[in-house]
Amino acid sequence: MDTQLLFYGTIILTALMGIVLGWVAISYRKLIEKYDKIRTSAQEAEKGLEGQRAKVLEEANLQARQIITEAQTRSGKLLSEAASFGDQTKQLLADELQKVQAVELGYYQKALEDTKVQAQASLGGVSKDVKQEVVRQIDAVRTSLTGEIQKAQVETRQMLAASYKKMEDEIQVYKVERLKRVDEKIFEILKDASAKAIGKSLSLEDHEDVVVKALEDAKREHVL
């Protein structure tokens, strides 16, 4: 049963495939024919285009020649007109220049005014900023200076105290030294005064006695 089904199915499928193949073959043939037609029309169109292109080129050449000829004619005319450029033209040009200058001057003045206003505004702002900055800096410096001054005061006080102590010590040493010198001076004065007083109180004979006594001492000490 199954085999029959398979047989008939295969036959049906084969038939279907034949139909499909037939349809494909017919379609392919039509397509080839269409292609041939298109190719033929394209070749014809190309031939027409080449003819048109040649024609256009010829027209362009012609127009170019005409343009060059016309340009040469105009340039010659312009050159001749330029040679006859007169005073009237110069006057007109000067007037136009003055007008332009006046207009430019007006623009410049306005620009200057605007700049001035802007500068004042900017400077005012700058001045304000600078003022604030300066005040801030001054405050900072003042704070710093206050600290430094206090520090300096403390250091100065300490230095003064140390100097005072050193000076006191030196004065004390000096005092002792001076007193010592004064004592020595007093003794020297006492000695001189005593010597002179005794010397004056001695008679000539006493002086002789003392000198002879000195000579005796000198002999005893082997100076003589």
Partner 1 sequence: MYSELNHLARTEEERDTLREELQALSDALYEKQGTFEDALAHKVRPATAETVKKLLAAPEASDKAKFFENAAKALESLKILELTVAFDPKGQSIERIWQWTRRNVGEGIILKFTVDRSLGAGAIVVYQGKFRNYSLSRLLEDYFEASKNSLAQILS
Residue ranges that bind partner 1, judged by CB under 8 A: 183, 186-187, 190-192, 194-199, 202, 204, 206-208, 210-219, 221, 223-224
Work out the number of other CB atoms within 10 angstroms of the CB of residue 210: 13
> Residue 25 or residue 212: which is nearer to partner 1 going by CB?
212
Q: Least distance from C-beta 153 to partner 1, angstroms?
A: 43
Q: Least distance from C-beta 150 to partner 1, angstroms?
A: 48
Interatomic CA distance for residues 174 and 91, integer angstroms: 108
Q: Least distance from C-beta 174 to partner 1, angstroms?
A: 18
Interatomic CA distance for residues 88 and 136, integer angstroms: 70
> Residue 161 or residue 197: which is nearer to partner 1 going by CB?
197
> Residue 81 or residue 205: which is nearer to partner 1 going by CB?
205
> Residue 104 or residue 192: which is nearer to partner 1 going by CB?
192
Interatomic CA distance for residues 170 and 176, integer angstroms: 10
The answer to whether 197 and 191 are in contact (CB under 8 A) is no
Find how far residue 25's CA is from the centre of its chain.
85
Q: How far is CA 207 from CA 49, 202, 213, in A?
A: 172, 6, 10
Q: Least distance from C-beta 165 to partner 1, angstroms?
A: 27
